[in-house]
A and B are shown apart, each in its own frame.
Chain A
Amino acid sequence: MSADILIVPEFGQDASSPVVCELITLARRLAQSAHGRVGVLVLGAAAPEPDAWAGSGVDCIYFARSSGLPLPEMLVAAATEAARRAASAIVLLPHTTAGAELAPRLAFRLDGAVASGCVDVSVEADSVRCTRPCYGGLAREVDEFALAPVVATVRAGIFERAPAHAGRRPELIDLGSFEATRARRIDRRTEAAAGARLEDAAVIVAGGRGLGGAEGFDLLAKLARELGGAVGASRVPCDLGWCPHSWQIGLTGKTVTPELYVAVGISGAGHHMAGCGNAKTIVAINSDPEAAIFQDARFGVVGDYREVVPALIAQLRSLNDASSRKS
């Protein structure tokens, strides 16, 4: 049997986007097991240049016309059309706001099944297995579905970037344009993020309830500057208004995969770890030696962050100065 894989990236992402590269890696692996092809759905004002996707590992591009940011309704229609054309067995989306919103509707429209927030997807004989966190990140489930379309949203940072596939120039298939009649977007505001985007940051300094107030984030920002990173947060400070909601990392926020994750005053509940558990190195600073975060941390500091963090910043600065003098 053969089964095709379709990737539905976020609007505006292309072959160079890290998230797309990760999905291609997974898609190629699944395509190999299922003896199928890998397709990608691209929305835009103009058809993409297939050469831009050459060597990415994608076999064909499904193009749907969209003058601006598409509405969820258009996305479902376009993705359904692409999945039907390709007779796709598996549709992969990034586990983002748009992806998690689109996947269930797409699955029900295709009369298939859906698994959200997956950390692994595999094909075995004639079934698809999806592994995903549940119970607030405390547990993992492995779902088994028949290969009659399965839609999966996949968390970022799990798969490596695909190696280049020499020379393959994908085929371009035009799906036409799609309308949304029952919904319109009436406003979209972007907040200028200071420093690196959380999703791309190599270092993240994140604060939790233990900061005790908004002013704690000023100190974390200083530490983040010293480390060349970005500032994030667990859910509680966002809900309490200590920091913007866009800083939230966790099951219901962003999934991040930095090299270094410094968790300050974060208890380490499962729903937070679901968003940062794949960081390469986790450092925890917490006044409570019992905090669960220490079970996930490589380094643990017990103490009041108001004393720990300034000393950490000062020492980092002098170490930086020393090493820059040497070189």
Chain B
Amino acid sequence: MHIAVLVKQVPNPESLAAVLRIDEAVCKIVLPPGHPMVMSPFDEQALEAALRIRDQSAAQMRISAVTLGPESARAALKQALALGADDAVHVLDAAFDSADSYLTAHALAAALRRLGTVDLVLAGRQAADWDAGVVALGVAEILDLPSVAFACAVQASSESVRVERVLPDGYETFELAMPALVTVSNELGEVRKPNLRETMRAARKPVASWNAAELGLDARELRARRKLARLYLPQKRAQCEWIEAETAAARGALLAQRLHAERLIPKP
């Protein structure tokens, strides 16, 4: 079985809140020098889903990590290889420098076609930068693959893939004929860390770099559809009224009185 995992490199979202600035004139985020770039956390979960399928299967299994991004995005591929992917593809071309989800989906779909027979495509439910959740499902549409989004568990047999997902009011399980595409959500659970053995093996694993021409894409024909008209940090609206009293319990009681006085507790 051949599984392809779509990964994206993003600014580390864990430490972004304190440092994120935006240059509104050019609609670009500004990060402090040295802010770490990491594999988007949902993509780590997609890769984890692939690795769990391999752990539970006796069949021959190949896992390819695929990314589109600048030269620096190679680090995300190396991390994927260190976590256990077998090979990697870096879609790299200046034509994709300001690619939107439309262009990215077409480029990744072309890369998957070139990769050969892929039975299952996995991706994070959304990337931690734009939070759009569009590219992977766009790839499914371009390649005409059945898809399920937001999986919390993925099991694959030779013919089909079983996908569970969390709903607002419960769970549902689908069965898809392969080849198929599944996006993975955080409910999948804890992901593994790169260990030294795999990291060392990863150094010898192949990373292919494909440009637009090699993918048979004409950059003039494929143009971004989104124009970023504005990017900004929203103003915080509330002025917090601090409930002050000697003890925590007294503050709790005082809060009840304030909510009551301001008639903020809706009548059932």
Task: Find out whether A and B make contact in their complex, taking CB atoms under 8 A apart as touching.
Answer: yes
B173 at the interface (CB under 8 A from A): yes
Contact indicator A142/B174 (Cβ below 8 Å): no
Interface residues in B225-268 (C-beta closer than 8 Å to A): 225-234, 236-243, 247-253, 255-260, 264-266, 268
CB-CB under 8 A from A283, the residues of chain B are: 255, 259
Q: How many residues of chain B are within 8 Å of chain A by beta carbon? A: 86
Given contact pairs A114-B134, A311-B249, A315-B252, A186 touches B173 in the complex (Cβ within 8 A): yes
Contact indicator B259/A138 (Cβ below 8 Å): no
A140 to B149: give the CA distance in the assembly, Å. 24
From the candidates B138, B225, B252, name the one contacting A307 in the complex (CB within 8 A). B252
From the candidates A193, A197, A308, name the one contacting B248 in the complex (CB within 8 A). A308
Contact indicator B225/A314 (Cβ below 8 Å): no
CB proximity of A148 to chain B, nearest CB, Å: 8
Contact indicator A316/B256 (Cβ below 8 Å): yes
CB-CB under 8 A from A187, the residues of chain B are: 171-173
Contact indicator B227/A143 (Cβ below 8 Å): yes
A145 to B224: give the CA distance in the assembly, Å. 10
A326 at the interface (CB under 8 A from B): no
* Residue interface bits B101-141, CB-to-A below 8 A is 1, else 0: 11001000000000000000000011011111111111011
Contact indicator A109/B141 (Cβ below 8 Å): yes
CB proximity of B260 to chain A, nearest CB, Å: 5
- Of chain A, the residue at the smallest CB distance from B227 is A144
The segment from A32-40, A159-167, A210-218, A288-296 found at the interface with B is A288-296
B169 at the interface (CB under 8 A from A): yes
A251 to B238: give the CA distance in the assembly, Å. 20
B22 at the interface (CB under 8 A from A): yes
CB proximity of B163 to chain A, nearest CB, Å: 9
CB-CB under 8 A from B226, the residues of chain A are: 113, 115, 143-145
A54 at the interface (CB under 8 A from B): no
- Of chain A, the residue at the smallest CB distance from B189 is A239
A3 at the interface (CB under 8 A from B): no
Contact indicator B265/A245 (Cβ below 8 Å): no
Contact indicator B187/A239 (Cβ below 8 Å): yes
A164 to B182: give the CA distance in the assembly, Å. 41
Which of the listed residues B128, B140, B248 has the most CB atoms from chain A within 10 Å of its own CB?
B248
Contact indicator B141/A108 (Cβ below 8 Å): yes
CB proximity of A238 to chain B, nearest CB, Å: 7
A158 at the interface (CB under 8 A from B): no
The segment from A42-50, A58-66, A297-305 found at the interface with B is A297-305
CB proximity of B181 to chain A, nearest CB, Å: 10
B212 at the interface (CB under 8 A from A): no
Contact indicator A307/B238 (Cβ below 8 Å): no
* Residue interface bits A168-188, CB-to-B below 8 A is 1, else 0: 000000000000001111111
Residues of A within 8 A of B (CB): 71-73, 96-97, 100-101, 103-105, 107-109, 112-117, 129, 132-146, 182-191, 193, 197-199, 202-203, 227-228, 235, 238-239, 245-246, 251-252, 254, 259-260, 269-270, 281-285, 292, 294-304, 307-312, 314-316, 319, 323
List, sorted by A's number, 16 A–B pairs whose CB atoms are closer than 8 Å.
Answer: A104-B141, A113-B102, A134-B231, A135-B20, A141-B230, A184-B175, A193-B169, A239-B187, A252-B185, A283-B255, A284-B240, A300-B241, A302-B242, A303-B252, A316-B259, A319-B256
Q: Which 10 A-B pairs have the closest CB atoms?
A: A311-B252, A303-B248, A315-B256, A104-B137, A307-B248, A108-B141, A308-B252, A142-B230, A190-B170, A311-B249
Residues of B within 8 A of A (CB): 13, 16-17, 20, 22, 27, 29, 101-102, 105, 125-126, 128-138, 140-142, 146-150, 152, 162, 165-177, 180, 185-187, 189, 225-234, 236-243, 247-253, 255-260, 264-266, 268
